[in-house]
Chains A and B, each alone.
Chain A
Amino acid sequence: MAQRAVAINPTKPGGIAVGLVLALTLGTLGAVAWRADWGRGLGPADWAAVRFTVTQALVSAGLSCLLAIPVARALARRRFWGRSVLVTLLGAPFLLPVIVAVLGLLAVFGRNGILNDALGALGLPDVSIYGFHGVVLAHVFFNLPLVTRLILQGWLSIPAERFRLAASLDAPVGRLLERPMLRAVLPPAFLIVFLICLTSFAVALTLGGGPRATTVELAIYQALRFDFDLGRAAMLALIQFGLCLIAAALAWRMTAVDGFGAGLDRSVDRWDGSRWADGVIIALAAAFLLVPLVMVIVRGVPGLFELPSDIWRAALRSVIVAIISAALCIGLTLALALRGGRTVGLVGVLPLAASSLVVGTGLFLLVYPFANPAKLALVVTALVNAVLALPFALRSVAPTVDKITSDYARLGAILDMSPWVWTIRVIVPRLRRPLGFAAGLAAALSMGDLGVIALFAGDAQETLPLAMYRLMGAYRMDAAAGAALVLLVLSFALFWICDQGGRIDADL
C-alpha cells in the first residue's frame, strides 16, 4: 500500500519557474565565468576591494548584533506607550529604499547634518560620514532593527513561567535563560546581516568609493560603467559570487527563524534590570532609527518644489517596474510553492547568493553582443528584482501552501478539482494574506532598487532612485531630498496597498 500523495497541485509552472531562476542565477554566472579575464590576475586594488568588502561586512554585522542585544532585551521586558508602533517600525528599514536612508543619514551625520552643526556650535571638529565608518553606520542603521526583531523573537519564545521560576529562585536570569537563547539566535542573525552587507551596493556607491572604501560590487560597477572592461568586471563578479556563496551556505544552514514573524506585540513580566537604563536604550535606538526618517520628510517637503519635471516620469517608470516585478515575483513564488520539494527549496535560496550586480553583469554580457543594454534596462530591472525578492516571498508563502494542501487536498481531489481549478478556487483565495505581503515586499524592494538599474540605464530609462542618485551627484541636494520623499512615500504606499489587499475580506 502506498499513501498516495494527493496530486492536485500543479507542478508544470513550477518547472518553468525553476528554469527561469536557474537561468538568471547560475546562467548569468556561467556568462560571467565564460568572460572572466584572469590574465591580469588580482591587482592590489582588487585585493583591497575584497578586504574592504569582508571587513566592513564583519564589522557591520558584529556591531548590529552587539547593539541589538540591549535594545531587544529592553523591548522584551518593558511595556510603554507606542511600543507596538516601534516594533512595527523595526520592520520598516527592510522596505526602505537604500538611497533614501542614505540621504536621511546624511541629514543627520553628513557635512551639513544635525550632528556636525551641534559639534560646530560647541567648537568641536567636524566628523565625516564618507568612507569605512559611513558604510558601517548605514549598514547598522539597516540591520540593527532586523537583528533586534530576530533577538526579540528569541526572547519572547522563552516561556513566561521560566522567568517566574527564575525570579522565585532568585537565580541569575542571564546565565540561566538568556545566554542559551542568544547562543542559538545570534550566529544565524550575524550571518544573515553579514550576507546582506556583502551584497549591499547602493551604500558603498553613495558613502564609499575611492581606493580605501571600494567594495567588490562597486569595483564591478566601475569596471563596467567607467572603464568598460568586461573581462575584469566578470572576474570581479565571480569573486563576489564566491564570497556570497560561502556566506549564504553558512547562513541558510543555520537559520530557523525569520524576522518578519508576528506575535512580537507583547512583553514578558520580569523582575530584573533598571527601568531607566532600558528607557534610555530604547530612546536612543528609536532616535537612531527615526531621526533620519524624520529628516527625509523635513528636508523633503521644501525639496518637492525644486523637483525637475522629468522626475515624475522617472517615478512613473519606477512604479510600473515595481508592479511588474511584484507580479512576476508572485507568479514565480506561487509556482515554486505549489511544486514544492527539495529542488524548489534549493532554488528558492539560490538568489540569496546572487547579488544584483553579479546577475546584472552576467545579463549585460549576454545582452551586449545583440542589443543596446540601455534599451532593456527596465525589463532587466523588473526581472532581476523579482528573482532577488523570491527567497523572502517564498518564505512567507510556502508554509501556508503546505498547510492548505495538507488540510484540503483530499477534499479537492474527491470533488474532482483539476490542478488549475484547485489553484484558482482554493489556493489563491486562502493564500491572500501571505501573497499580499510578499507582493508588497517585492514591489517595495524593486521600487528602491539601485543596483542592476545603475549598470544598464541610460538617461531615457532613469528610475526614481537613479534620478535621485544623479541629483545627489550633481549636488542638487534640495531636489534630491524632494525625490527621496517621493520615493519613500511611493515605496511604503505600494507595500501598504499590496499588504492590505491581502487582508481585506480574507476569510481564514
Chain B
Amino acid sequence: MLTCEKLELTQGAFHLSADVHFSKRAITAVIGPSGAGKSTLLLAIAGFVTAQSGQVLLDGVSFTSLAPGKRPVSMLFQDNNLFPHLSIFENVGLGLGTHRKLDAAARCSVLSVLDRVGLLNMADRKPAALSGGQQSRVALARLLLADRPVVLLDEPFAALGPRLKDEMLDLMQEMVVQDAGATVLMVTHDPADARRVADHVAWVADGVVHAPRPTAEIFADPPKGLRGYLGKMG
C-alpha cells in the first residue's frame, strides 16, 4: 500500500495537501481540473518535487528522503520516455540497471519481455523507427523489467489515438497490475480512461487530494466539484 502521510506541497500561491492511501495491485486514476496539482502529486511521490512536510511510505516504510532513482517507483512522463540514441534493446535494458554490460541472463530477460509486448523483431531499431504505439510498448517493457512496486503514469499515452490508448491501458492493467501486482497511479483528464481500467478514482481539486473511492461509486455519486468537471466534459 502506498501512503501519502500529511504531505504538504507549496510553491508561491500553489498549495496541495495529500493524506491518502493507494491500494496495491490496483490502478487509481487521478483526475481534476488542470493546474490542480495532479502531476505535482506524482512528481512528489517520484522525488522530483520536495514536500514542505509529510511522508511518502510503501507498506509503512518511508522513502521520503531517497533520491528518485533509489525509490521503489517507476514513472512514465508525458514525453521523452525513451533515449532516441539507444536501441530498443538498450532502452529496455535500462530497466535492469544503467551500466553498459548486461550478462547473459539479463539479455535473456530483456528479450523475453520484448517478446511479451510483441516487439522482439524490433530489438535493434532506434525509437524513431517505431510508431507511437510501439514506443509506448517499449516504455511498458522497461517498466515490467524494472519491476518496481509503484508505477506512476503522467499521461504518457495522451498523444496516442483513442484505440491505441485503450490498448495500452489494457496492457498496463494486465501486465503491470494483474501480473506484476504493482500500485499504479494514473493522471488523466479523460473520465473514460478511468472508467475503462481504474479500480479507484482520486479527485484532486482546491488544493486537496481527496481519498480514492471505487470508480463505479464515485461516478454514480460524484462530489460537487467532480460533477461540474464531468458536466463540463460533456
Residue ranges of A at the interface with B (Cβ–Cβ < 8 Å): 1-4, 6, 407-408, 410-411, 413-418, 421, 424-426, 429-430, 506-508
Contacts and interface: CB of A to CB of B under 8 A. Distances in A.
Contacts of A410: 48, 68, 75, 77, 80
A1 B51 contact: yes
Interface string B46-69: 111111100000000000000111
Given A1-B50, A421-B98, A426-B83, A507 B68 contact: no
A415 B94 contact: yes
7 contacts: A1-B11, A2-B49, A415-B94, A425-B98, A430-B85, A507-B85, A508-B84
Interface size class of B (residues with CB under 8 A): 35 or more
Contacts of B70: 416
A10 to B, nearest CB: 14
Contacts of A414: 46, 68-69, 73-75
Contacts of B128: 507
Contacts of A424: 100
Given A413-B69, A421-B99, A506-B85, 20 more contacts: A1-B8, A2-B11, A4-B49, A4-B50, A6-B48, A6-B68, A408-B80, A410-B77, A411-B81, A413-B47, A413-B48, A414-B46, A414-B75, A416-B67, A416-B70, A416-B98, A421-B98, A424-B100, A425-B83, A507-B126
B9 interface: yes
Nearest to B73: A414
Interface string B97-118: 0111000000000000000000
A499 to B, nearest CB: 19
A1 to B, nearest CB: 4
A507 B100 CA distance: 18
Contacts of A6: 48, 68
A413 B68 contact: yes
B135 interface: no
A1 B98 contact: no
Contact of B40 (A1, A408, A416, A508): A1
A411 B80 contact: yes
Nearest to B129: A507
B44 A1 contact: yes
Contacts of A426: 83, 85
Contacts of B44: 1
A411 B77 contact: yes
A276 to B, nearest CB: 48
B48 A4 contact: yes
B85 A429 contact: yes
B10 interface: yes
B49 A3 contact: yes
A217 B8 CA distance: 63
Contacts of B98: 415-418, 421, 425
Contacts of B9: 1
A2 to B, nearest CB: 5
A222 B14 CA distance: 66
Interface string B195-207: 0000000000000
Interface string B125-153: 01010000000000000000010000000
Contacts of B11: 1-3
Which 3 A/B pairs are nearest by Cβ-Cβ distance?
A: A416-B69, A1-B9, A413-B68
A195 to B, nearest CB: 37
Contact of B50 (A2, A421, A507): A2
